[in-house]
Amino acid sequence: MVERKQLELLQFEKITTLIRQKCHSRQAKLMCDSIHPVAAKDAILPELTRTAELKNILDGKGYFPSLEHDDILNELFYLSREGSMLQEEQLVLLLKTIEVANSLVKFVKGKKQILPSLFLQAENLQVFDHVVSEIKTIIDNEGTVKDSASPEIHRIRKLIVEKRRESDRRFYSYIQHIRKEGFLRDNEESFFSGRRTLAVLVEYKGEVQGFVHGKSESGKTIFIEPSATMILNNEVAELELDERREVNRILRELCETIRPYTYEIRLSIEFLIYVDFLTAKAKFAIELGATLPSIKDGFDLSIKEAVHPLLILQNKRAGKTTIPLSVELNHEKRILVISGPNAGGKTIALKTIGLLQLMLQSGLLIPVKENSEYCFFDKVLVDIGDTQSIENELSTYSAKLKSMTTILSEINEGTLVLMDEFGSGTDPELGGAIAEAVLESLVSSKTKGVITSHFGNVKLLADKLQGAINGSMLFDLETLDPKYILSIGAPGSSYTFEVAERIGFPMHLIARAKQKVNKDKLKLNRLLADVQDQKTKLNEQLQRLEHEEFLKKIAKEKYHTLFNNWEEKIDKERERKIELVRLADYGQKYLRLMEEWNQKKDRKVVVKRFIDGITAESKKDEIAKKRKKTNVYAEKKIANIKPKLSVGSRVKILNSREVGIIEEIKEEKVFIKFGLMKMTVGMENLELADD
């Protein structure tokens, strides 16, 4: 799909190196070496989806299980062999890695809604809690076989402790005896091969009975294991051999227990490694602000606010802003010709387009807006930079010609071509003619491409050719600084003299150079610069106006929201006051009734008054509900009939046969003439006579 040399031109390896640095395990780092562009969309789309899922969950700062683990694939391979036995430290590594894998598999299986694509990969994986339990039953956190692993290991270790204790007692008792004789050096004891010895002055070696283990370099000290402890030490050594034998038996039995699960464990560990690799890609995407754009069939591109990955990281470190790039390539605009000043951003625009395309086709998220639309090209052909070759004795122009020849032999509808300064390196007139021919060939092949050029004839041809379009990198004529902004639709000036002036080239030489240039060409170059400058200013003004309109819209919406909230608050306050008045009235009536009741008047009268009061209030509520219902009906009726009414309309009062003519309408009141009689009627009481 793309040659290694072209990958190097676009600095693709730097991207994979940055991802490798975010992997935990060696195996995940090795997977980074397999990152390369492919043309098959179906092969990469699942990888992109899984990376996007992980990126979303990591970017949300929610819980995600730790992926730190050791490389235990060799241990698993050895364990799978019949009769094999892993040592304690190997089993501890296996235990810790299985625990990490278990945690990951459980997490992914519990996040089917958030990680649907990754869930499918983990769906059939097992969780090996029983294997963890088996290992932990035998081995402690320090990697030692537990005393409880078997009755025999418990018995042996108990004997070892007793023998060592007795050996220590005899050893220190003997030291106290010979210390008084002055046979020992200041550092009285040491160890040789695990055996405790006395540091005896060489002249007294015959006075101390025991086995000689060594002599100091000076020859003044001899190291003797006293005979008083030798027998006990020999017994301890024999018990330690028994201990090791029993430990090996226990470990072999443990390995036999977990060996049947080796293949399934390996699948879980491989999934862990894969998620480690995916997480590194997701973390890199978060660092870039990368997303998964829409991926379409066919060979059209709609790139919105793209930035070069390496440039944005560099600018972040320097505290600078990265200016985004937007480009669209489709059937009507197949080839974009970018012109403008040197150091204005033309080459970085090419590299951004090319590198992001290769990243996407390698399963990596890219720093563009999510509403960008991408496709998968069959080939990406790149010619960027000085391709002069000393080894092959090729000049810059010859090398460019050779590169263009290779590109032209491979272009078709499924190809993306990126060419920098094509046609340069030779006589401008002849090089420009070659560039025209190449541009025509690119357009007729229906390939998609972006090329940069300073040739005026190429800019003019791009304006005429159907399928080609001009673009330019903007330049600030006032500050003489490049803006690094790509403007589509018009060619740009090369700003040759302006750039020379900016870098401090002698003004008298610039003036002489201007005199030697064809006046029409100079005038055209200046015109292009002025047009571009005016277009830039108009765009800036349009952006300001759009921003002001946006602020006005926001302010208007805020005003309406506040006004509606205020009205709602006023209505609630009014209802609250009415309710308080009603409750106060009830309270007064209740107090009066209580007073009459306490005065022991005719209580039947009091009860009757109470019942009458309740009945009256109930009727009031009923009337209020009917009135409210009538008002609602009236409002609906008015809303329905009001648009149909106008001066001159023929109407009838409800349940009446008389037809009248509307003479005037004021709000929801209608003035109607019935013959010689005039009436004012509410809209809710009318119907159209025609109906």
* CA 614 to chain CA centroid, nearest Å: 67
pLDDT of residue 39: 93
- Residue in the structure block whose two tokens are 């029409």: 520
pLDDT of residue 427: 58
Q: Can you list the alpha helix ranges (DSSP code H) found in 425-518?
A: 428-444, 456-464, 496-502, 507-516
Q: Is the pLDDT at 517 greater than 80, yes or no?
A: no
Residues 236 and 120 in one domain: no
Let me know if residue 40 belongs to a domain: yes
Residues 429 and 414 in one domain: yes
Let me know if residue 526 belongs to a domain: no
User: How do residues 278-321 score in pLDDT, each as one tens digit?
Assistant: 999 999 999 999 999 999 999 999 999 999 999 999 999 999 99
Let me know if residue 683 belongs to a domain: yes
Let me know if residue 272 belongs to a domain: yes
Q: Is the pLDDT at 238 greater than 80, yes or no?
A: yes
Q: How many CB atoms lie within 10 A of CB 397?
A: 18
Of the candidates 245, 277, 308, which is a domain's last residue?
Answer: 245
Q: How many CB atoms lie within 10 A of CB 228?
A: 15
Higher pLDDT, 120 or 670: 120
Residues 317 and 440 in one domain: yes
Distance, CA of 430 to CA of 449 (rounded, Å): 23
Let me know if residue 607 belongs to a domain: yes
Domain that holds residue 574: 548-636
The count of residues in the chain is: 691
Total domains in the chain come to 5
Distance, CA of 20 to CA of 276 (rounded, Å): 10
The answer to whether the beta carbons of residues 417 and 448 sit under 8 Å apart is: yes
pLDDT of residue 203: 75
Residues 555 and 653 in one domain: no
Helix (H, G, I), strand (E, B), or coil: what is residue 337? Answer: strand
pLDDT of residue 662: 86
Distance, CA of 111 to CA of 613 (rounded, Å): 63
Sequence-separated (6 or more) residues with CB below 8 Å from residue 269: 69, 72, 73, 76, 97, 98, 101
Q: Mean pLDDT, to the nearest integer, of 18-39?
A: 95
User: Sorting pLDDT into bands at 50, 70 and 90, what band is 441?
Assistant: very high
The proportion of the chain whose per-residue pLDDT surpasses 70, expressed as a percent, equals 86
The answer to whether the beta carbons of residues 252 and 140 sit under 8 Å apart is: no
pLDDT of residue 186: 63
Q: Which two tokens stand for residue 633?
A: 């009906």
Sequence-separated (6 or more) residues with CB below 8 Å from residue 510: 497, 500, 501
Q: Is the pLDDT at 389 greater than 60, yes or no?
A: no
Residues 237 and 282 in one domain: no
Distance, CA of 534 to CA of 324 (rounded, Å): 21
pLDDT of residue 398: 73
CATH code for position 453: 3.40.50.300
Residues 599 and 653 in one domain: no
pLDDT of residue 393: 42
What is the per-residue DSSP string for 124-164? T----HHHHHHHHHHB-TTS-B-GGG-HHHHHHHHHHHHHH
| 134-143: long-range contacts, CB 8 A cutoff, minimum separation 24 | 134/254, 134/257, 134/258, 135/91, 135/94, 135/95, 135/254, 135/258, 136/95, 138/91, 138/250, 138/251, 138/254, 139/88, 139/91, 139/92, 139/95, 143/88, 143/89, 143/91, 143/92
Q: Mean pLDDT, to the nearest integer, of 230-249?
A: 90
Q: Mean pLDDT, to the nearest integer, of 467-476?
A: 85
Higher pLDDT, 176 or 331: 331
Q: Mean pLDDT, to the nearest integer, of 450-470?
A: 88
Let me know if residue 266 belongs to a domain: yes
Q: Is the pLDDT at 248 greater than 50, yes or no?
A: yes
pLDDT of residue 195: 79
pLDDT of residue 492: 61
Higher pLDDT, 341 or 56: 56
CATH code for position 54: 1.10.1420.10
Residues 315 and 197 in one domain: no
User: How do residues 104-114 score in pLDDT, each as one tens digit?
Assistant: 999 999 999 99
The answer to whether the beta carbons of residues 347 and 384 sit under 8 Å apart is: yes
The answer to whether the beta carbons of residues 55 and 365 sit under 8 Å apart is: yes
Burial class (CB in 10 A: 0-12, 13-18, 19+), 654: exposed
The amino acid at residue 344 is: G
The answer to whether the beta carbons of residues 250 and 108 sit under 8 Å apart is: no
User: How do residues 582-592 score in pLDDT, each as one tens digit?
Assistant: 778 777 777 77
This prediction has a pTM of 0.69
Residues 671 and 595 in one domain: no
User: How do residues 593-635 score in pLDDT, each as one tens digit?
Assistant: 777 777 766 667 767 777 777 777 777 777 777 777 767 777 7
- Which range among 58-67, 322-331, 409-418, 554-563 shows the weakest confidence by mean pLDDT? 554-563
The answer to whether the beta carbons of residues 183 and 220 sit under 8 Å apart is: no
User: Sorting pLDDT into bands at 50, 70 and 90, what band is 516?
Assistant: low
The answer to whether the beta carbons of residues 497 and 513 sit under 8 Å apart is: yes
User: How do residues 171-204 score in pLDDT, each as one tens digit?
Assistant: 787 777 776 666 777 666 677 767 778 777 877 7
| 217-225: long-range contacts, CB 8 A cutoff, minimum separation 24 | 221/185, 223/190, 223/192, 223/197, 223/198, 223/199, 224/197, 224/198, 224/200, 225/192, 225/195, 225/196, 225/197, 225/198
* CA 365 to chain CA centroid, nearest Å: 8
Residues 564 and 594 in one domain: yes
CATH code for position 667: 2.30.30
Let me know if residue 538 belongs to a domain: no
Let me know if residue 70 belongs to a domain: yes
Residues 182 and 51 in one domain: no
Q: Which two tokens stand for residue 363?
A: 């399963």
Residues 82 and 186 in one domain: no
Phi and psi of 449, rounded to 5°? -165, 160
User: Sorting pLDDT into bands at 50, 70 and 90, what band is 277?
Assistant: very high
C-alpha distances in Å from residue 389, one per residue of 45, 403, 423, 425: 38, 12, 17, 13
Residues 609 and 672 in one domain: no
What is the per-residue DSSP string for 220-278? SEEEEEEHHHHHHHHHHHHHHHHHHHHHHHHHHHHHHHHGGGHHHHHHHHHHHHHHHHH
pLDDT of residue 286: 96
User: How do residues 354-377 score in pLDDT, each as one tens digit?
Assistant: 999 999 999 999 999 999 999 999
